[in-house]
Amino acid sequence: MAEFDRKVKGGRWSQEMETLLEADEKWMRIALTEAARAREAGEVPIGAVVVRDGDLLAAAHNSPISLHDPSAHAELLAIRRAADAVGNYRLPGTTLYVTLEPCLMCAGAILHARVERLVFGAADPKNGAVASLFRLLDDRRLNHIVSVTEGILRDECSEILSGFFREKRLASPP
């Protein structure tokens, strides 16, 4: 089940969960704006933001082509910028919002940075290391636990990616 976990109290949504869903959608829309910036730059359209206590610490989009850096994924760039903003390589109490399920490299960085919560939009059946291909963040042998919410604005997050690749296919000669 890849949708937001809606907890029910007395047959109604709890106000706390409703507020959390609204915040998740708000921040994911900002991550989608970052993904659109990546698309405009000719990069695979993935965006990420790091938030703590309702404040935006960092935002980034995929940039491996323009930076000539295979590690310049949106998640890593956002984590680096957030760490710089707080002056610490650890990011306790933060939530990372990303439009696509993180890969192994990014999931490892999420663990090392001690991100408290990960929220992603679209699943990645070919490279996803959180829920699809691997379940790295569920491994209790690791020394950090990350809470995961998947499926926030899934359709929008999926469409920006599929639209990008559809345009690439149409633009390339047969």
Residues with a known catalytic role: 75
Burial class (CB in 10 A: 0-12, 13-18, 19+), 141: exposed
Largest Cα–Cα distance in the chain?
Answer: 58
How far is residue 108's CA from residue 73's CA, in Å, rounded to a whole number?
13
Alpha carbon distances (Å) from 146 to 41, 68, 140, 167: 31, 30, 10, 35
Say if residues 4 and 149 touch (Cβ distance below 8 Å).
yes
